[in-house]
Amino acid sequence: MRTLIVQLPLSPASPAVAYLHAWADPASPAERLAVQWAQADLLPAAPSQTEVVLMVPAQALSWQQAELPAGLHKQATRIPAALQGLLEERLLAEPTSLHLALQPGWQRSAQAWVAVCDKSWLSGHLQALEAAGLTVHRIVPEIAPEAAHLQILALGDTESGWLGFSHPQHGVWGCPVQSAHSLSAWPAWLGHNEGDAPLQAMAEPALATWLGERLGERSGTLVQLLQPHEHWLVALASEWDLAQFDLQTHPHARRLKSLQKFVNALWTASAWRPARWGLALLLITQLVGLNAWAWKTRADWQNQRQSMTRILQETFPATTVVVDAPLQMAREVARLRQGSGQLAPHDLESLLNALGQALPQGTPAPTQLAFQTGQLQVQGLTLTAVQQQGIEQALQRQGYRWRAEDGGGVITVSGGQP
């Protein structure tokens, strides 16, 4: 699934503000991002099969760590107020004017990271993009405290670049590259890397040498070269989503896009290739099995049909054309019974005999009988529920059905009777 990444500018939303944006394709992650500038109404259209991700610059976010009360995740409506109360003394602005967003999986963390930014600034850009016809499906931070150890990220160039730091316990902080030329602050920054923990340093081409000189031999770390804006792909791959609480954007569209993204990963991601092969093998096995079972069932049915046809023709040689062997057999048997004077199960005498055997001893005779072929209606019987059940079971053993009615019942011939 192609993704349109739009980075928010630090200035408030206005018709003249331009947005840095690029298309990202998970199918070719190594491909360099083609970053462009455009005003909101000139941003490329996003078809239904694409995802629009908003990226909040590192300079626009502050990070706070909070210990949330147990069970808060069960009371979703109270989470914003709880966050505002916990962080009120640490924030420089009124909590109600700020947007607060919790880290992914915060329910399982003793200390949860909270991303903080100006609410009016973020909501203004969301409204501007929505007015331009873009539905934002996710909002991610440019840099998040996800690295296992201290991570340094040098972006841009020596004139307008940004130096970012990320640490799992100390959060995210940074400064302009021009402010970091002095080496005085570097020992404090590097001091966040406790003990002999590895240090990860990454820089875009224009700052790779500069960062290597600042780190020197103290860290013993090689600077990893990043293509311009390659860190966007790292932010895109994270599970962060700042669209929470009252700024949750189009939840139905976001859920649908998440489902599409998951299905796309199942279909194209190399990590799911064994699962795809297993599923294909399972489907092929089921298809072969179903066809084999259908072939065997059809063969058994044809053998049974041929056997019944053979029995009919051997028993009644005069039958030359067989259309429905069981029905023709029943007719021939009935014809023989009628010719020999024997009673058929659907005759009145047979029905009365079955009723007489089924009625409990001492039961008064019915006052009214109504007969038609295969059915006898009985009226004038006063029976309890237990007696009705006993009659039904007795008639069933003789091959008849009993349907209880007010003041009696109806006897019919079962379908198995010839």
**Residues 163, 182: one domain?**
yes
Instruction: Average the pLDDT over 402-411 and give the result.
Output: 85
* Amino acid identity at 346: H
pLDDT of residue 110: 79
pTM: 0.63
**Residues 134, 69: one domain?**
yes
Torsion, CA 192, CA 149, CA 231, CA 270, rounded to 10: 180
More confident residue, 113 or 252: 113
Question: Tokens at residue 187, please?
Answer: 């020992």
Q: According to the per-residue pLDDT averaged within each range, which of 50-59, 175-184, 185-194, 409-418 is highest? A: 50-59
Percent with pLDDT over 90 in the chain: 41
- Whether 203 is in a domain gets the answer yes
pLDDT of residue 154: 95
**Residues 34, 8: one domain?**
yes
**Residues 10, 88: one domain?**
yes
pLDDT, mean over the chain:
85
Please state which of the ranges 105-119, 221-235, 388-402 shows the lowest mean pLDDT.
388-402
- Each residue's pLDDT tens digit, 254-308: 555 556 656 666 776 677 788 888 888 999 999 999 999 999 999 998 898 888 8
Number of structural domains (the chain) is 4
pLDDT of residue 340: 67
Question: Tokens at residue 280, please?
Answer: 């294909």
CA–CA gap between residue 132 and residue 41 (Å, rounded): 5
- Whose structure tokens read 């947007």? 99
**Residues 70, 184: one domain?**
no
The pLDDT of residue 87 is above 70: yes
**Boundary residue ending a domain (296, 322, 339):** 339
- Each residue's pLDDT tens digit, 154-209: 999 999 999 999 999 899 999 999 888 776 777 777 776 765 677 899 999 999 99
- Residues whose CB falls within 8 Å of the CB of residue 327, separated by 6 or more in sequence, listed in order: none
- Whose structure tokens read 């609480």? 245
**Boundary residue ending a domain (248, 268, 288):** 268
**Residues 160, 281: one domain?**
no
Closest CA to 347 of 374, 378, 377: 374
pLDDT of residue 217: 57
pLDDT of residue 347: 79
Structural domain boundaries, residue 306: 276-339
In angstroms, the first-to-last Cα distance of the chain is 66
- Whether 399 is in a domain gets the answer yes
**Residues 252, 389: one domain?**
no
The pLDDT of residue 13 is above 90: yes
Question: Tokens at residue 103, please?
Answer: 């880290």
More confident residue, 248 or 107: 107
More confident residue, 284 or 110: 284
**Boundary residue ending a domain (294, 314, 339):** 339
The CATH number assigned to the domain holding 360 equals 3.30.1360
Question: Tokens at residue 28, please?
Answer: 């070719």
- Whether 418 is in a domain gets the answer no
pLDDT of residue 320: 77
CA–CA gap between residue 70 and residue 109 (Å, rounded): 10
**Residues 118, 250: one domain?**
yes
* Confidence bin at 230 (pLDDT 50/70/90): very high
**Residues 4, 96: one domain?**
yes
**Residues 168, 288: one domain?**
no
Secondary structure of residue 1 in the 3-state scheme: coil
Please state which of the ranges 14-23, 255-264, 363-372, 403-412 shows the lowest mean pLDDT.
255-264
Q: According to the per-residue pLDDT averaged within each range, which of 49-53, 58-62, 109-113 is highest? A: 58-62
Give 372's strand partners: 375
The pLDDT of residue 149 is above 60: yes
**Residues 242, 166: one domain?**
no
**Residues 113, 246: one domain?**
yes
- Whether 60 is in a domain gets the answer yes
- Whether 185 is in a domain gets the answer yes
The CATH number assigned to the domain holding 250 equals 3.30.420.380
CA–CA gap between residue 78 and residue 119 (Å, rounded): 18
- Each residue's pLDDT tens digit, 69-78: 888 888 888 9
- Whether 18 is in a domain gets the answer yes
Closest CA to 64 of 140, 119, 116, 141: 116
* Confidence bin at 361 (pLDDT 50/70/90): confident
pLDDT of residue 343: 74
- Whether 233 is in a domain gets the answer no
- Whether 260 is in a domain gets the answer yes
More confident residue, 64 or 413: 64
CA–CA gap between residue 379 and residue 316 (Å, rounded): 42
Mark out the alpha helices in 7-110 (DSSP H runs): 79-87
